[in-house]
Structure 1
Amino acid sequence: MGKIQLVIPPREKDLGGFNVRRILPYATHRMVGPFIFFDHMGPADFRSHEGMDVRPHPHVGLATVTYLFTGKIRHRDSLGSDQLIEPGAINWMTAGKGIVHSERTPSFEREHENHMHGIQLWVALPEEFEDVAPSFIHHPADTLPEFTIGEIKLKLLVGNALGHTSPVKAHSDLFYLEANITAGQLLNFPVLGCEAAAYVVTGKIRADGKEVDPYSMAIVETGDDLELEALTDSKVMILGGSPVGKRFIYWNFVASSQEKLDRAKKAWLPGPGPSNELFKAIPGDDQEFIPLPAEVGNPKGTIM
């Protein structure tokens, strides 16, 4: 049986108009494999004419992975991408040397009451890919492998696992799955020496004798398999992979060195624009942006 090292409880963050439950980075456990950030968005209910508005903001040194259970998000970025994100699809944005994007509820959804529920992860890029050109790729729901083990329904979102391969191209060894486990069912997930974790979206599971409540993440000891028992019908996200090394993180920036972090911070100070070396404006969404947060208490990046 896999030994559970830690269970991380949720911490609610207000992103302006809706809340997220932030799991990673955590004070005593910053990363799981290359995954350096985990936000559970919602579930959020919006009244008519309201919705999510995450204004243009920058990233470097990471890839964002967005997955929705319900609702719709309009993704736009400085490459000119304009993509409607819908439930079941994977949207992989490689920030590389620098990208700007916004995430908003589309206007047609605001014509009525609307609902949004999903998860966004950040994957720290290996050093050799930190400064690649940015890119964005949308993978429709029907392109992602779905299969069953007994009565357990699984969907491989990114990477390789259980004999299946996702079409989503990652930059390192990792896996990310959605598992729907009925009450009383057991899932044995072989980790093969990697770091791994299970996050409970709904329901309740038992791992290594520990009950794991909704919105919590169980971290297995490195190299141990994940063995999960559903105490109620449960939706669980399974993630992990090989570590990519220590990382510095500040706000939306991830880097292997303080120097790269400082370069990104300096570049974002004036905001996006045609003369900005790292951060161009988003076509059609260039009237506002989120400014660099004030450096209070910790002017240097946190080491992961």
Structure 2
Amino acid sequence: MELVIQQRRRDLGAFEVGRVLPYAKRRMVGPYVFFDRMGPKDLAPGLPREADVRPHPHIGLSTITYLFDGEIMHRDSLGSEQAIRPGEVNWMTAGRGITHSERFEELRAHGGPMDGIQAWVALPDEREEMDPGFWHYASDSLPLFDGDGIVGRLIAGRLAGVESPVAVDSPQFYVHWQLRAGARAPLPPEYSERAVYVASGEVEIDGQRVDAGSMAVLSPGKAATIAALGDAVVMALGGEPVGPRWIDWNFVSSSKERIEQARADWAAGRMKLPDLDNDEFIPLPPKIGTPREPEPMS
């Protein structure tokens, strides 16, 4: 094991998020450049509208939203309007530019638990300026793992000969495993960069204990075994590097100049807002050097 990253918690008012990537000593794992845990939190009805993520822009990446509990409504500048629920995947590719919002309308009306992960995947150089797109995948469309105390779902990419229908733009994998106490999940060395995030419980990897809220970055070229010390939920992810990336607010790019252009475009109102959610937006934040970490839950 190379490194264990402890989450950094941030209070957003309605609930907290735990930032794992990017990290000062590990900016990316394969193409994964951002990883935030949303919650867990039990929310009462009447959640203030200020808790929603208002329309904002992205370039140069794909976002992956995956929930353990709750519901989020996605709307974007392509005209998409899609709720996401536990076990489903919302995959949005920004490419040359997209805007979207994330609203907690169901939770506002009825209350309930909120818990999930948002990850960003940097696009490879030749696809950074591709056309934007949005895809929703139902839970029953994703490959399942079930046996020996392990129940899981391959969210994206390919692992151990199994392939998800979620289209990806570079070699990678992303999996959700629920482990019974004593279960052992093998993770083959088929990608040069891999990591395991512990969502709940405790596991042991290479003889080292990894607690909930932490991400273990694995050594390359070696098979790893995730041993559950009690019931546990983990997310394993990784892939092949796409090269270093600059991050500024919600923009990811291999070029600092491209990020400057994106900032200027948003400030000047040149990026289209979602058709179904265009009555407000997040203003461009002040520039605080380059690169810097993105804002949480973006």
Where do 1:202-281 residues align within 5 Å?
Answer: 202-271=200-269, 276=270, 279-281=271-273
1:191 equivalent in structure 2: 189
TM-score where L is the length of structure 1: 0.92
Segments ≥4 residues shifted beyond 6 Å:
none
State the alpha-carbon separation in 2 of the partners of residues 235 and 207 from structure 1: 14
Structure 2 counterpart SS, 1:87: coil
3-state SS of the aligned residue for 2:113? strand
SS of match in other structure, 2:276: coil
Q: Determine the C-alpha separation between the residues in 2 that align with 1:177 and 1:12.
A: 23
Matched-pair contact (CA < 8 Å) for 2:156–2:173: yes
Corresponding residue number in structure 2 for 1:301: 291
Farther off after superposition, 193-202 or 237-246? 193-202
Report SS of the residue matched to 1:93: strand
The number of residues matched between the two structures is 291
**C-alpha deviation, 1:113, in angstroms:** 2.2
Q: Does 1:284 align with 2:282?
A: no
Aligned-CA RMSD value:
1.4
Partner of 1:75: 74
Q: CA deviation at 1:149?
A: 4.6
Change (3 A) 1:193 1:64: closer
- 12, 22, 25: which is aligned to 2:22? 25
1:40 alignment counterpart: 37
Tell me the CA shift for residue 55 of structure 1. Answer: 0.6
SS where residue 261 of structure 1 aligns?
helix
1:193 and 1:66 mapped to 2: Cα distance?
22
In structure 2, what is the equivalent of residue 117 of structure 1?
115
SS in 2 for 1:142: helix
8 Å contact 1:193–1:224 — kept in the other structure? no
CA–CA separation in structure 2 for the residues paired with 1:283 and 1:29:
37
Distance 2:159 2:87 in 1: 18
Runs (5+) with no aligned partner, structure 2: 294-298
Q: 8 Å contact 1:196–1:226 — kept in the other structure? A: no
Consecutive unaligned residues in structure 1, runs of 5 or more? none
CA displacement 1:91-127 (0-9 Å, x = unmatched):
1000000000000112x44222222110000000001
Q: CA deviation at 1:281?
A: 1.2
Deviation at 1:193, TM superposition (A): 4.2
Q: In structure 2, what is the Cα distance between the partners aligned to 1:149 and 1:241?
A: 25
Pairwise CA distance, 1:16: 4.3
Amino acid at match of 2:259: L
Q: TM-score, normalised by structure 2?
A: 0.94
